[in-house]
Each structure stands twice: as structure tokens, then as C-alpha cells.
Structure 1
Amino acid sequence: MTNILPGLPLIESPLFPALKAEWGLNAEEDRIATDLYEKGYAVFDFPDADLDGRIDRIQQHLGPRYGIDFADPHSNKTHGERRVQDAWQFDEDVRAIAANQAVIDLLSKLYGRRAFPFQTLNFPVGTQQDAHSDSVHFSSLPERFMCGVWLAMEDIGPDAGPLFYYPGSHKWPIMTNALIGRRGYGSDLASAQDPYGPAWQALREVYGVQEECFLPRKGQALIWCANLLHGGSYQNDNRLTRWSQVTHYYFDDCIYYTPAFSDEVLGKLHLRDLISIGDGKRRPNSYLGEELKFDDNELYKSKKLSIWKILKENIKNHK
């Protein structure tokens, strides 16, 4: 069957049941694809023969940055920094996990566009973060061409503040400022997800969905779709660690932006200027194969542009 909806990821397309038969998926890929389509997440064993060594080196290298006494089993592990962002820039093992070729190939096959990693987050403990969708932080045009991969760097039990999620919530409406009656362009927020909290809570109540926790063993990973509602559980035992790495991926030939600080209906987007972790090369904002060209002005430097002005200029220049 011809994919007549290329503006949707394959695993989120309403044509998924018909398209899947022609992908040439093996049994494991079929399981992962079906879980993503139906539940919005999928669990798999991370494909890296040196993973244990990488985890040990990452813990040794990043450990001092958190200000936590890891040597004392009775110390409070939640008193300190909870994350190091973009450690791939100085830690080769973090970069290698993010740029794992087998994972990139899998995501590319499942989404129908080439994946590239653009951000890493490394955690020694749980986030205890409220339920949220990554779509308000990272989104794309076309929508949904973003996903996260969460890797367990140790066995994680229920008292360590495990990751939780709401199965099927990836199919709910994507939160935008227009949807909740808010202007986002040029705004200033302490937390980009705060304005959408009441709407997510209302959806949870209406759908009656129950959260599920991810209790993985070391080396298991979880892929989640861009709009899956997820967060970090309360940590019952503050002596425990919860080492993990999150890598966020975008896909080629999209416009990349931050919805929390954008007004799509007005054509005002907080655009992202991205580098692929895999090859260190820039991934330009593009639409249907054409890179968007920007004027060298202050609006561009702040990454806050009217996308419609850009498209108009591209059309004029193309003619």
C-alpha cells in the first residue's frame, strides 16, 4: 500500500495496520511498532555489547557533577543536581549511547524518516516530575516527528521514583497554546509545561486512564512517542539512585520548534537550530526537501521568527 500520509510517522498513522505488512519487519520490530502504535511506548533491550562498561564510566565521570555522596549508602541521593544536559559534548560514552546506529536505524524504519539524536539528559535519581508530554517542549512540522529513548543504567524498583506513563495518551490532542487559549510567543515561563497541567489533568479524568510504572532491569530501554503523557514517580526511598539516560530524537526534513513559546496560528515559532549528535553536523529546518533560508537579523538570532514570512521569501526566491 502506498503511504499517502507521509506527514505522519508510520507508527502513528491511521494507515499503520495496512502499511505494516509491507515494511519487512522482523518479529521484534513488529512487536515494537505495534506497541508504539497502540500504547505510545515500547520496551526493548539496548543493543550495545559494551553497555555495562559505558554505564560504569559514565557514573564515574558524571558522578562528581551532581553533588551527591554516592559512596554512603545511607545518604540522601535526592539532595543535589538531578540532571546533566548534553553530556554527549564531553563524554564519549554518553555520545555513543545517543548515537547508537542500531537504535537510529530502528527509529528511522518505524517513523519513515531518518532519525537523528539532538539532546541527552543523564540522571542519577528520579525526576519526580509531573505528568507531561514532550510535545510542548519539542515539536515539529509536520507534527509528531520526535521521540525519546529512556535507558535504565541499573535495575530500578518501585521505591526509586520510577518512570510512569499513561498508555494510549499519545493519541490524545496535542497541547498547543491555541488549544488552551494562551499566547506563547515571547513569553517567559519558569517551567514550559506548567500552563498545560490542568488540561492534561482534565484529559486523564475524562479518559479514566491509569498510570503505569516502568520497572526495568539494567540495559532495558523504552521508546516513547512525542505526545505520550509521562513523568517521574515520587521517590519513596531517598537513599536509592535511579541512573538513566534520556536521548531525544528528531527526524529529517522537518521544522523544529518549541511550542510552549510559539503561536502557530500566527506563524510565530520559537525555532531550534540543531546539531546531530551522531555526526556533529547541522540539521536545518526544512519543508518538503527545501531548507528554509533566514534573514540575518535580530529575530533570527533569537530563534523567534515568523515562519510564514520565511516561507514567503523562499517561494519568492525559488521563482
Structure 2
Amino acid sequence: MLRHTLGLSEEEQRLADSLVTHGYAVMDFPDVTLDERIERIRANLGPRYGLALDDPASDKTCGERRIQDAWKFDEDVRAIAANEAVLGLLGKLYGRPAFPFQTLNFVVGTEQAAHTDLVHFSSLPERFMCGVWLAMEDIGPDAGPLFYLPGSHRWPSLTNGLIGRRGFGSALGSAQDPFAEAWRALAEANQAREEPFLARKGQALIWMANLLHGGSHQNNRSLTRWSQVTHYYFEDCIYYTPAFSDEFTGQLQRRQPISVIDGAVHRCRYMGEPLPTKGSGRWARLWRRR
């Protein structure tokens, strides 16, 4: 009944069910020119990693692991992030229009411990953020595949207040480090297990904001793991960084994300109304606390 009310196709309903149940969903990326885009991206970005990519025996993990916001100079990176079919799908699944605001392009995996994007990118209302990870080649178990903890998106969203620290105005080398112990404790308490995503080229993984995920250890250092991550926000939200905020006192490190689609700045909005940059009128009390 809900499927027909929302106008979802069978495939869209499958993706919605997987997101609700597992916190992620796998699909084939909807771009008939994807192979050509991937080849151009690899040719354009490859030299920027400082690696001997033409040498199959060289260590591919000794250079730069990622390039942030390559959409600003690479049209194919931008086109993947701004794919209209993906935007339409996310809009249906979340109930409000989506816009991409960040891209990350990888030549190898991150080997990061399990973490959630929620400490980096959050919103009010909560969890109107998601990621889409695209495999740009077949990825096996020795190439440091992406992993996730199914169902972890249902666990509590960690804030500085919950882990006993102040975040607003603090200096951190890593936004994730203060939350690592709590994430490990949650995983242990829920007896959660990491599952690798052994993707084939052209498969994409949508994950919800609070899903714990990371990069597996790379057993074979000579392998690449070409991939692109796009982070999406949704319209009519307050955007902020929880790692540097104290929600309980109203002190938020707000964001003004720039849309990959057209370079437009998305100001924070609450129920359709833009939030002013300085306190005035009925918003004054909120901003005096900042």
C-alpha cells in the first residue's frame, strides 16, 4: 500500500526496504556512459595520487589515498555526483529533494575503523544525509573493500554530550577519534559483525547517515580500489557538524553546503524559513547562545 502511495517501483521498494532493515542498499549505477566516465576519471586523477599506477607490483598505498571535491575540476566526477536518476531516487526515499555537496575519489581503500558520517555531517531534522559509494572496478577481498555493520543505523546517534565532552569551539585532529570507543562498545553490545562489500564495477551502495562503516585491511598492497563517494544533504534543513557542536546548549557549528549541481550555497532553513546569520527577532535567543 505504501509503495503505491509513494509511487515507488518494485526496484525502489526493494532499495527502501533494504535501507530501513539494514541501513544500506545496493544498486547498479544508472548511467549508460559510466565505463567511459570511469576511464576519463582514472586518466585525469591518476597522476594526482603520486603513485606508480602503471607498475602492477608497486605499493599503491604509499601515496595520497583520496582527492576531495574533484567535482570542482572534473566534469565526470560532477556528473556522477549530480546524476538525475540518483537524485530522483533519493528524493523519493527521503521525502524531500536531495543535493550532493561533497565528493571523495579513492585509488585505494581507507583502512579506516568503523565510524559513522553522522559526526561529520548532520542535520536538523536528524539524519537527512546519506552517502553513495560507487565501485569503479571489481573489488575483491584483498583490495581493502568497504565494510559495514548491518543494522547499526538503528543505534543511538552519538553526540559530544552523550560521550561526556564539549565540542563547540574545540580543536580536533580527527573528528572521529573521540567517538571510537563508544562505537566499539555499541558494536560489542549488539554483537555486530563487519560485512565486506565485494563490489563489481558499476555497483553503488547507498548508506544511511548513522550506519557504521569503514575500510578493511588491504592484504595486497599492489592492488587498487578505485571508487567515488558522494555525500548528499536534503533541502529545508539546518546543516551542522556534531563533532564540533554541543546540541544540548544550542551551540552548533553550522554548515552552508555548496551544491555540486550548480554551485549554489544552501543556507540553513527551518520549516521553509532561512535562518539569519545574526540573531534577530524570534531567532535572537538561539543565536545569543552561540
Q: TM-score, normalised by structure 1?
A: 0.87
Match of 1:63 among 15, 24, 46: 46
Find out whether 1:257 has 2:240 as its counterpart.
Answer: yes
> Which aligned segments of 4 or more residues in structure 1 are displaced greater than 3 angstroms?
18-21, 308-311
Given candidates 250, 263, 267, the residue that maps to 2:250 is 267
SS at match of 2:7: coil
Aligned partner letter, 1:28 = E
Say whether 1:53 aligns with 2:24.
no
Change (3 A) 1:205 1:291: same
User: How far is 1:22 from its partner?
Assistant: 1.6
Of the candidates 213, 216, 237, which is equivalent to residue 233 of structure 1? 216
Report what 2:231 is aligned to.
Answer: 248
> Aligned partner of 1:312: which letter?
W
Residue by residue over 1:238-270, the C-alpha shift from the partner in whole angstroms, topping out at 9 and shown as x without a partner, is 000000000000000000000000001111111
- Contact 2:3–2:9 (Cα < 8 Å) also in 1: no
AA at the equivalent of 2:283 = K
Distance across 2 between alignment mates of 1:162 and 1:89: 27
> Where do 1:67-216 residues align within 5 Å?
67-216=50-199
Matched, 1:313 2:281: no
- The equivalent of 1:3 in structure 2 is none
For 1:295-310, what aligned pairs fall within 5 Å after superposition?
295=278
Aligned positions, number: 286
Query: Once the 2 structures are TM-superposed, how far is the Cα of residue 284 of structure 1 from its aligned partner?
Result: 1.1
One-letter amino acid matched to 2:169:
G
The two structures have a TM-score, normalised by structure 2, of: 0.96
- Note the residue ranges of structure 1 that are not aligned, 5 or more in a row: 1-17, 296-307
Asked if 1 retains the 8 angstrom alpha-carbon contact of 2:137 and 2:226, the reply is yes
1:26 maps to: 9
Superposition RMSD on alpha carbons, in Å? 1.5
Is the CA contact (8 Å cut-off) linking 1:166 and 1:228 kept in structure 2? Answer: yes
How far apart are 1:280 and its partner, in Å?
1.7
Equivalent position amino acid for 1:195 in 2 = P
CA contact (8 A) 1:119 1:249 kept: yes
| Residues 188-217 of structure 1, C-alpha deviations (whole Å, 9 max, x = no match) | 111100000110101111100111000010
Q: Aligned to 2:252, what secondary structure does the other structure show?
A: strand
SS in 2 for 1:274: coil
Structure 2 CA distance for aligned equivalents of residues 286 and 238 of structure 1: 45
Give distance in 1, aligned partners of 2:282 and 2:115: 31
Shift of 1:313: 3.3
| Distance 1:311-1:142 versus aligned 2 partners, 3 A rule | farther
AA at the equivalent of 1:184: G
Deviation at 1:20, TM superposition (A): 4.2
Cα deviations by residue, 1:276-297 (Å, 9 ceiling, x for unpaired): 11122111100000001113xx
Question: Please, which runs of 5 or more residues in structure 2 have no aligned partner?
Answer: none
Question: Tell me, what secondary structure is at the counterpart of 1:282?
Answer: coil
User: Are 1:292 and 1:310, in contact at CA under 8 Å, matched by a contact in 2?
Assistant: no
Distance in 1, matches of 2:264 and 2:21, equals 34
Matched position secondary structure for 1:125? coil
Amino acid in the other structure paired with 1:60? A
1:49, 1:194 → 2: CA distance? 40
* In structure 2, C-alpha distance between the alignment counterparts of 1:32 and 1:314, rounded to whole Å: 42
How far 1:125 moved relative to its partner? 0.2
